Structure 1
Amino acid sequence: MESSVNGGGVGGGFSHLQSCGDSSEEELSVLPRHTKVVVTGNNRTKSVLVGLQGVVKKAVGLGGWHWLSKGSVSTPRGTTKVDLSKLEMAALWRYWRHFNLVDAIPNPSKEQLIDVVQRHFMSQQMDELQVIVGFVQAAKRLKTVCK
Protein backbone atom coordinates (compact mmCIF):
# COMPACT_ATOMS: atom_id res chain seq x y z
CA MET A 1 0.00 0.00 0.00
CA GLU A 2 1.30 3.46 -0.87
CA SER A 3 0.49 6.93 0.34
CA SER A 4 1.10 10.09 -1.63
CA VAL A 5 2.06 13.53 -0.41
CA ASN A 6 2.13 16.74 -2.41
CA GLY A 7 4.90 18.95 -1.15
CA GLY A 8 4.90 21.56 -3.90
CA GLY A 9 7.92 23.68 -4.71
CA VAL A 10 11.59 22.82 -4.72
CA GLY A 11 12.28 19.59 -2.90
CA GLY A 12 8.65 18.58 -3.22
CA GLY A 13 7.98 19.41 0.43
CA PHE A 14 10.56 16.89 1.49
CA SER A 15 13.64 18.74 2.41
CA HIS A 16 17.01 17.76 3.68
CA LEU A 17 17.46 14.59 1.75
CA GLN A 18 20.24 12.20 2.51
CA SER A 19 21.72 11.22 -0.82
CA CYS A 20 25.09 10.88 -2.50
CA GLY A 21 26.66 13.37 -4.90
CA ASP A 22 26.08 17.01 -5.71
CA SER A 23 22.61 18.25 -6.64
CA SER A 24 21.52 21.53 -8.10
CA GLU A 25 18.31 23.35 -7.19
CA GLU A 26 16.64 22.09 -10.38
CA GLU A 27 17.47 18.47 -9.60
CA LEU A 28 15.84 18.74 -6.17
CA SER A 29 12.33 19.31 -7.61
CA VAL A 30 12.01 15.54 -8.17
CA LEU A 31 13.80 13.36 -5.68
CA PRO A 32 15.30 10.06 -6.85
CA ARG A 33 13.83 6.77 -5.66
CA HIS A 34 15.14 5.40 -2.36
CA THR A 35 16.07 8.90 -1.13
CA LYS A 36 15.59 9.27 2.61
CA VAL A 37 13.51 12.36 3.36
CA VAL A 38 11.91 14.33 6.17
CA VAL A 39 8.51 15.86 5.45
CA THR A 40 8.51 19.62 6.04
CA GLY A 41 5.63 20.43 3.72
CA ASN A 42 3.81 23.67 3.03
CA ASN A 43 0.36 25.09 3.83
CA ARG A 44 -1.33 22.22 1.92
CA THR A 45 0.53 19.43 3.72
CA LYS A 46 -1.41 17.59 6.41
CA SER A 47 0.08 18.46 9.80
CA VAL A 48 0.22 14.79 10.84
CA LEU A 49 2.73 14.19 8.03
CA VAL A 50 5.13 16.99 8.97
CA GLY A 51 8.22 15.64 10.70
CA LEU A 52 7.84 12.09 9.43
CA GLN A 53 10.77 10.35 7.82
CA GLY A 54 10.41 8.16 4.79
CA VAL A 55 11.89 6.80 1.59
CA VAL A 56 10.78 8.05 -1.83
CA LYS A 57 9.09 5.32 -3.89
CA LYS A 58 7.92 7.46 -6.83
CA ALA A 59 8.05 11.14 -7.82
CA VAL A 60 6.32 13.21 -10.50
CA GLY A 61 7.83 16.51 -11.66
CA LEU A 62 4.58 18.41 -12.13
CA GLY A 63 3.18 19.53 -8.79
CA GLY A 64 5.98 18.08 -6.72
CA TRP A 65 4.09 14.89 -5.85
CA HIS A 66 6.10 12.20 -4.07
CA TRP A 67 4.91 8.79 -2.95
CA LEU A 68 6.17 7.02 0.16
CA SER A 69 5.29 3.47 1.04
CA LYS A 70 3.55 3.25 4.37
CA GLY A 71 6.09 0.72 5.59
CA SER A 72 8.93 3.19 5.03
CA VAL A 73 7.37 6.11 6.90
CA SER A 74 8.57 6.46 10.47
CA THR A 75 8.66 9.08 13.15
CA PRO A 76 12.10 10.37 14.17
CA ARG A 77 13.54 8.69 17.23
CA GLY A 78 15.78 10.38 19.75
CA THR A 79 17.85 7.32 20.63
CA THR A 80 21.08 8.39 18.97
CA LYS A 81 24.05 7.99 21.31
CA VAL A 82 26.93 10.44 21.22
CA ASP A 83 30.34 9.27 22.43
CA LEU A 84 32.10 12.49 23.42
CA SER A 85 35.14 10.55 24.66
CA LYS A 86 36.22 10.27 21.02
CA LEU A 87 36.69 14.05 20.84
CA GLU A 88 40.11 15.54 21.27
CA MET A 89 40.84 17.71 24.31
CA ALA A 90 40.93 20.86 22.14
CA ALA A 91 37.35 20.25 20.97
CA LEU A 92 36.15 19.58 24.52
CA TRP A 93 37.85 22.78 25.73
CA ARG A 94 36.21 24.81 22.92
CA TYR A 95 32.79 23.44 23.88
CA TRP A 96 33.52 24.11 27.56
CA ARG A 97 34.48 27.74 26.84
CA HIS A 98 31.75 28.36 24.25
CA PHE A 99 28.97 27.39 26.67
CA ASN A 100 30.73 29.04 29.62
CA LEU A 101 30.97 25.85 31.68
CA VAL A 102 34.00 27.26 33.52
CA ASP A 103 32.16 27.39 36.86
CA ALA A 104 31.72 23.63 36.93
CA ILE A 105 35.34 22.61 37.67
CA PRO A 106 38.33 25.01 37.63
CA ASN A 107 40.87 22.76 35.83
CA PRO A 108 39.20 19.48 34.84
CA SER A 109 40.86 16.28 33.64
CA LYS A 110 39.70 14.81 30.33
CA GLU A 111 37.29 12.46 32.11
CA GLN A 112 35.82 15.32 34.15
CA LEU A 113 35.61 17.49 31.04
CA ILE A 114 33.81 14.73 29.14
CA ASP A 115 31.38 14.32 32.05
CA VAL A 116 30.59 18.06 32.26
CA VAL A 117 30.26 18.43 28.48
CA GLN A 118 28.12 15.26 28.24
CA ARG A 119 25.71 16.47 30.94
CA HIS A 120 25.43 19.90 29.31
CA PHE A 121 25.04 18.41 25.81
CA MET A 122 22.28 16.03 26.92
CA SER A 123 20.41 18.85 28.70
CA GLN A 124 20.04 20.84 25.46
CA GLN A 125 16.59 20.82 23.85
CA MET A 126 16.80 20.59 20.07
CA ASP A 127 14.27 20.95 17.30
CA GLU A 128 15.69 18.37 14.89
CA LEU A 129 13.95 19.83 11.85
CA GLN A 130 15.36 23.30 12.58
CA VAL A 131 18.84 21.82 12.95
CA ILE A 132 18.49 20.05 9.61
CA VAL A 133 17.13 23.20 7.93
CA GLY A 134 20.07 25.21 9.30
CA PHE A 135 22.54 22.59 8.13
CA VAL A 136 21.14 22.51 4.60
CA GLN A 137 21.11 26.32 4.41
CA ALA A 138 24.73 26.45 5.57
CA ALA A 139 25.69 23.79 3.01
CA LYS A 140 23.99 25.78 0.22
CA ARG A 141 25.79 28.97 1.32
CA LEU A 142 29.10 27.11 1.35
CA LYS A 143 28.36 25.65 -2.08
CA THR A 144 27.74 29.12 -3.56
CA VAL A 145 30.87 30.55 -1.89
CA CYS A 146 33.02 27.70 -3.23
CA LYS A 147 31.87 28.18 -6.85
Structure 2
Amino acid sequence: MSQEIESGELDALLPEGTVVRIAGNNRTKWDLVGKKGVVRNAQTLGGWHEVVLEGSTSAVRVQRNALEIIAIIPHSKVKLAGSLQGIKSGDQSSITKRRKKKQSPPMAVNLGKLDEDTLRRYRRYFNLNVRKDCEKDELVFAVRRHFARTKVDESDVIFRFLTRIGKFPE
Protein backbone atom coordinates (compact mmCIF):
# COMPACT_ATOMS: atom_id res chain seq x y z
CA MET A 1 0.00 0.00 0.00
CA SER A 2 2.76 2.45 -0.88
CA GLN A 3 1.73 5.89 -1.99
CA GLU A 4 3.70 8.81 -3.39
CA ILE A 5 3.55 11.71 -0.97
CA GLU A 6 4.96 15.18 -1.45
CA SER A 7 7.30 16.37 1.30
CA GLY A 8 5.11 19.40 2.00
CA GLU A 9 2.25 17.04 2.80
CA LEU A 10 4.39 15.13 5.28
CA ASP A 11 5.36 18.28 7.13
CA ALA A 12 1.77 19.48 7.47
CA LEU A 13 -1.01 18.09 9.58
CA LEU A 14 -1.97 14.51 8.89
CA PRO A 15 -5.46 13.85 7.52
CA GLU A 16 -8.04 11.93 9.51
CA GLY A 17 -7.73 8.19 9.10
CA THR A 18 -3.97 8.17 8.58
CA VAL A 19 -2.48 5.04 10.11
CA VAL A 20 0.59 5.93 12.17
CA ARG A 21 3.19 4.43 14.48
CA ILE A 22 4.28 6.50 17.45
CA ALA A 23 8.03 7.04 17.21
CA GLY A 24 8.16 9.45 20.13
CA ASN A 25 9.79 12.73 21.04
CA ASN A 26 10.56 14.45 24.33
CA ARG A 27 6.83 15.07 24.99
CA THR A 28 5.71 11.48 24.35
CA LYS A 29 5.02 9.04 27.17
CA TRP A 30 7.45 6.16 26.71
CA ASP A 31 4.74 3.51 27.07
CA LEU A 32 3.15 4.87 23.85
CA VAL A 33 6.31 4.54 21.72
CA GLY A 34 6.00 1.81 19.09
CA LYS A 35 2.21 1.56 19.24
CA LYS A 36 0.04 1.91 16.14
CA GLY A 37 -3.01 4.07 15.81
CA VAL A 38 -5.29 6.09 13.57
CA VAL A 39 -5.33 9.90 13.47
CA ARG A 40 -8.70 11.17 14.66
CA ASN A 41 -7.99 14.89 14.23
CA ALA A 42 -5.16 17.41 14.24
CA GLN A 43 -4.69 20.94 15.55
CA THR A 44 -2.50 23.43 13.75
CA LEU A 45 -1.10 25.01 16.89
CA GLY A 46 1.87 22.91 17.94
CA GLY A 47 1.11 20.15 15.44
CA TRP A 48 -0.77 18.06 18.00
CA HIS A 49 -2.69 15.03 16.70
CA GLU A 50 -5.29 12.94 18.46
CA VAL A 51 -4.46 9.29 17.79
CA VAL A 52 -6.79 6.40 18.58
CA LEU A 53 -4.54 3.48 19.52
CA GLU A 54 -5.00 -0.02 18.13
CA GLY A 55 -7.48 -1.94 20.30
CA SER A 56 -8.66 1.15 22.17
CA THR A 57 -11.44 3.70 21.84
CA SER A 58 -9.77 6.56 23.69
CA ALA A 59 -7.42 8.99 21.99
CA VAL A 60 -3.98 10.17 23.03
CA ARG A 61 -2.40 13.48 22.02
CA VAL A 62 0.90 13.22 20.15
CA GLN A 63 2.87 15.82 18.19
CA ARG A 64 3.35 15.40 14.43
CA ASN A 65 7.13 14.98 14.66
CA ALA A 66 6.61 11.98 16.96
CA LEU A 67 4.56 10.08 14.36
CA GLU A 68 5.63 7.81 11.49
CA ILE A 69 3.15 7.36 8.65
CA ILE A 70 2.25 3.76 7.90
CA ALA A 71 -0.61 4.38 5.46
CA ILE A 72 -2.86 7.19 4.36
CA ILE A 73 -6.38 5.90 3.91
CA PRO A 74 -8.57 7.81 1.42
CA HIS A 75 -11.16 9.97 3.17
CA SER A 76 -14.07 7.88 1.88
CA LYS A 77 -12.68 4.75 3.59
CA VAL A 78 -11.96 6.34 6.96
CA LYS A 79 -13.45 4.38 9.86
CA LEU A 80 -12.39 5.34 13.33
CA ALA A 81 -13.84 2.50 15.36
CA GLY A 82 -10.73 2.21 17.50
CA SER A 83 -9.08 -0.54 15.47
CA LEU A 84 -6.91 -0.64 12.39
CA GLN A 85 -9.18 -2.47 9.97
CA GLY A 86 -7.44 -3.59 6.80
CA ILE A 87 -3.95 -3.05 8.20
CA LYS A 88 -2.07 -6.09 9.42
CA SER A 89 -0.05 -5.54 12.57
CA GLY A 90 3.06 -6.91 10.85
CA ASP A 91 2.58 -4.82 7.70
CA GLN A 92 5.93 -3.45 6.56
CA SER A 93 4.52 -1.06 3.96
CA SER A 94 5.31 2.00 6.01
CA ILE A 95 5.80 5.20 4.14
CA THR A 96 9.04 6.78 5.23
CA LYS A 97 9.59 10.46 5.36
CA ARG A 98 12.01 11.56 2.69
CA ARG A 99 14.27 14.31 3.87
CA LYS A 100 14.40 16.76 1.02
CA LYS A 101 16.17 20.03 1.13
CA LYS A 102 13.42 22.53 1.74
CA GLN A 103 13.13 25.02 -1.02
CA SER A 104 12.89 28.53 0.26
CA PRO A 105 10.63 30.96 -1.55
CA PRO A 106 12.34 33.28 -4.00
CA MET A 107 13.95 36.22 -2.32
CA ALA A 108 11.81 39.31 -2.66
CA VAL A 109 12.93 42.73 -1.53
CA ASN A 110 10.39 45.52 -1.33
CA LEU A 111 12.56 48.50 -2.21
CA GLY A 112 9.49 50.74 -2.13
CA LYS A 113 9.65 50.65 1.67
CA LEU A 114 12.96 52.54 1.66
CA ASP A 115 12.98 56.27 2.40
CA GLU A 116 13.43 58.58 -0.54
CA ASP A 117 16.67 59.88 1.04
CA THR A 118 18.03 56.32 1.20
CA LEU A 119 17.16 55.74 -2.44
CA ARG A 120 18.89 59.00 -3.42
CA ARG A 121 22.04 58.01 -1.50
CA TYR A 122 21.98 54.65 -3.31
CA ARG A 123 21.64 56.50 -6.65
CA ARG A 124 24.61 58.73 -5.82
CA TYR A 125 26.81 55.91 -4.49
CA PHE A 126 26.27 53.64 -7.49
CA ASN A 127 26.06 56.44 -10.08
CA LEU A 128 22.65 55.37 -11.36
CA ASN A 129 21.48 57.01 -14.57
CA VAL A 130 18.45 58.81 -13.11
CA ARG A 131 17.64 62.52 -12.92
CA LYS A 132 18.37 64.22 -9.60
CA ASP A 133 14.83 65.59 -9.34
CA CYS A 134 13.02 62.34 -10.19
CA GLU A 135 10.05 60.89 -8.32
CA LYS A 136 10.40 58.16 -5.69
CA ASP A 137 8.81 55.61 -8.07
CA GLU A 138 11.51 56.28 -10.67
CA LEU A 139 14.21 55.88 -8.01
CA VAL A 140 12.70 52.59 -6.84
CA PHE A 141 12.60 51.34 -10.44
CA ALA A 142 16.24 52.35 -11.07
CA VAL A 143 17.45 50.82 -7.78
CA ARG A 144 15.49 47.62 -8.44
CA ARG A 145 16.98 47.35 -11.95
CA HIS A 146 20.51 47.94 -10.61
CA PHE A 147 19.96 45.51 -7.76
CA ALA A 148 18.74 42.79 -10.15
CA ARG A 149 21.65 43.27 -12.56
CA THR A 150 24.34 43.21 -9.88
CA LYS A 151 26.33 39.96 -9.77
CA VAL A 152 27.56 38.93 -6.34
CA ASP A 153 30.42 36.56 -5.56
CA GLU A 154 29.13 34.94 -2.36
CA SER A 155 32.50 33.65 -1.19
CA ASP A 156 34.02 37.11 -1.61
CA VAL A 157 31.18 38.70 0.36
CA ILE A 158 31.56 36.16 3.17
CA PHE A 159 35.34 36.64 3.25
CA ARG A 160 34.97 40.44 3.35
CA PHE A 161 32.33 40.17 6.09
CA LEU A 162 34.50 37.90 8.24
CA THR A 163 37.51 40.14 7.67
CA ARG A 164 35.51 43.16 8.73
CA ILE A 165 34.26 41.61 11.97
CA GLY A 166 37.80 40.46 12.78
CA LYS A 167 37.62 36.70 12.20
CA PHE A 168 40.25 36.76 9.44
CA PRO A 169 43.41 38.85 9.36
CA GLU A 170 43.55 41.37 6.53
CA radius of gyration, larger in: 2
- TM-score for both structures, normalised by structure 2: 0.35
- TM-score for both structures, normalised by structure 1: 0.39
Normalized per residue, the structure richer in helix is: 1
